[in-house]
A and B are shown apart, each in its own frame.
Chain A
Amino acid sequence: MDERISTDASNGNEGEPTDPQRRRFIKGVGIAAATGVISLTAGQLLAEGAARASQGLDGKEDARLQYAMVIDLAKCDGCKKCTKACQKEHFLAEDQEWIKVYKVDDGISGEYNLPRPCMMCANPPCRNVCPTGATFVNSDGLTLINHDKCIGCRFCLAACPYSARTFTWKEPEHTPEELAHTYSPEMPLPHRRGVAEKCMFCVHRRKEGKLPACVEGCPMGAIYFGDAAENAVTNSKGQTLPLRETLADNAAYRLRDHLGTGPSVFYLPQRGRRA
């Protein structure tokens, strides 16, 4: 009879603080649940702290700017040789464009071509959302990916405001040359399936004193690259420009600057287009 549930006090231990085991169990679970809630709140605070620490408002974020890329839109003719040079350098599949050239016609400035590498944001949204720390910022201020840690959640693809990231959807086609590489986040070869990838400003070439592959591969000399501290950027033709003056004199702009991501890539508008 179901009434027995509450009336069957036959063993006469009512009122006693019985069953310490169960009580401990329940208490334990309560604590576990509370811990969950508390750690959530803590997480939020931490995240805010982290964001604040790496943000730096306008102007200040340039203090973090170490490498700078300047792309002269007046010079780019849209030949996509930068993309091809990058693909060759990094053994990329044809549909994987770490530097992608867009054809733009916004109806105001006329047609122009817009090469888009990774912006190497000073406050990279891709790093901020990465659950495992696979995406990290190295001591040179460059955003890189440690593929040993990447779980392939693609949160970074969702968070990057520049569509700069690609994902290895299928097993990449390997070549003996590519397989010969020893993996490092600076030269993430051989490629792996199921991880996020992107442009890395050719850190590995930097060590050899070479310009990034795309910069070197641009026949127009439209892409300049250099060290912000040295205030100099150089293109494939060996032309070197003073960084700050060039940016100031040519009304340089950055993509989606209002987001506060602090891109390291600057565009010179195609005004007075040459070529």
Chain B
Amino acid sequence: MSEQGLDPKTKRILTPLLRTGLGFYIALIILVGLFLLANYAWSVQLDKGLAVTGLNDRVSWGIYISVFIYFIGISYGGTCVSAILRLTGAEWRRPITRLAETSTVAALLVAAIMPMFDLGHPEKILDVVFYGRIESPLVWDFISVGTYLAASMLFFYLALIPDLAILDRVLPKRVRIRRTLYRVFKMRWEATPAQVRKLERALMAITIIIIPIAVSAHTVLSWMFGMTTRAGWHSSIFGPYFVAGALFSGIGIVVIAMAVVRWAQHLEDVITDFHFRRMADILLVFGLAYLYMTLSEYLTMTFQPSDDEKILVGLLTSGPLAPYFWISTLGLVLAVALLAIPRTRTVAGITMAALVVNVALLIKRFIIVVPSMQVPLIPGDAVATYSPTWVEWALIGGSFAAFGLIFLVASKLVPMVSIWEVSEGDKAHAKDAPAAPEARTPSPEAVASVSVVVATEGRS
């Protein structure tokens, strides 16, 4: 068996599975380096205790929790693209579903580990299951994130089965280990109409199930703050506010992943400008929703006569952390502008906006967690301070590295564009006018890379 008979587009999608460029190794080395540094930092923390962080009795949650929220948030990109767009029958989603689902799984795998950094006794984490008090929002969080992770992995896997069968069929013999994996995991997939029907049904079922699960995961997380009495946390819009932010940053991450994969794997004719513009539309909607909620959140807070709220607003707008607040808020406005102004709605502009959104929302999570804990609760108490240490930064760096590594490894194991979903889409539209015309002409680099693959494979 070989790749003979495959159309050039599919060949290009498969190229990265067979050929590994220098860029991959450079990225791998950097990410592994960051990951190892984080491991070292964690070993220091396990040895010396949380005293090696900048946390203290007053600001007892810091960047670990902030970035944890961020990672749960970016998992929403995959859910939106794969579930919501599938449900609404948006056909254009097909080439980006795999990317989106990968980012969901990667984000949730990282997010599942992150709370461990923050625990005084990480070895006792399973006590939350064994001794869990269902009244505690943290237990809700555990249940919902766990369910969400399981559901997204299942989603990712189900949608992968037909591609595994294709890989098993077309990849050359020399990739023996991977082919064995593909054969095992394709689970006797023969693409019979009955199987196809069942898969479609299963995908639809999980699509419907995963949306409320995803919404619950972030809502419940927001309630870990909302259920306390602190200024800035005890807010009834926290659930939707977190969810809107999650969609905004999560879709942004998918856009960034699209840009990277399109560039690294020469898939300009598969992931087209059209896809970027569609994603920009969605980003814009959630961006505006987020700005609206931000306004209502802080404006109501500003009008509160209570001391706590006054101190908090003061801290946010002119305290030591005020630069972060302003960078984050203005960043969100800038991103919305980039997405709205026709001149900047190019691939570069949209990717830039997605980056800005993610930086802004990452900071925003910090601005939500920390300043509310700085507010003094007892008369005569001072504003608390917190500055993260290198251990915390290293662990955060390692988390991002882990996210990148999962992507990197995934890009070598499975096609980053779902071959079967795209071809199903092509078939469905064959009768209609040809889709975006530019989608038909492969770029010169792409053609070149295919010939290299074909030449390489010819030899083996």
Contact = CB atoms under 8 A, between A and B. Distances in A.
Given A19-B198, A104-B379, A168-B120, A5 B420 contact: yes
Nearest to A36: B147
B228 A33 contact: no
A8 B191 contact: yes
Contacts of B216: 36-37, 40
Interface stretch (A44-52, A199-207, A214-222, A240-248): A44-52
Where chain B touches its partner, the secondary structure class is helix
Given A163-B378, A195-B120, A11 B190 contact: yes
A151 B128 contact: yes
B213 A36 contact: yes
A43 B139 contact: yes
Interface centre among B136, B150, B191, B381 (most CB of A within 10 A): B136
Contacts of A22: 187, 198
A159 interface: yes
A171 to B, nearest CB: 6
B135 interface: yes
A34 interface: yes
Interface in A201-236: none
B140 interface: yes
Interface stretch (B32-40, B202-210, B274-282): B202-210
Nearest to A155: B138
B312 interface: no
A36 B144 contact: yes
Interface in A58-94: none
B380 interface: yes
A3 B143 contact: no
B60 A131 contact: no
Contacts of A11: 190, 192
Interface stretch (A23-31, A137-145, A178-186): A23-31
Contact of A158 (B48, B120, B373, B376): B373
Interface residues of B, number: 84
A30 B209 contact: yes
Contacts of B120: 150-154, 167-168, 193-196
Contacts of A133: 131, 133
Interface centre among B49, B165, B210 (most CB of A within 10 A): B49
A132 B381 contact: no
B205 A30 contact: yes
Interface centre among B57, B61, B381, B424 (most CB of A within 10 A): B57
Given A4-B169, A32-B147, 8 more contacts: A10-B190, A37-B147, A104-B379, A129-B138, A132-B127, A153-B115, A169-B50, A169-B55
22 contacts: A2-B7, A5-B420, A15-B193, A16-B194, A33-B206, A37-B216, A40-B216, A44-B140, A50-B135, A102-B381, A128-B135, A129-B137, A132-B136, A153-B118, A163-B57, A163-B378, A169-B49, A169-B50, A169-B55, A194-B119, A194-B120, A195-B120
Interface of B: 5-7, 10, 48-51, 53, 55-58, 60-61, 115, 118-121, 124-125, 127-128, 131-140, 142-144, 146-147, 150-151, 154, 158, 162, 165-166, 169, 187-188, 190-196, 198, 202, 205-206, 209-210, 212-213, 216, 220, 224-225, 227-230, 373, 376-381, 419-420, 423-424, 427
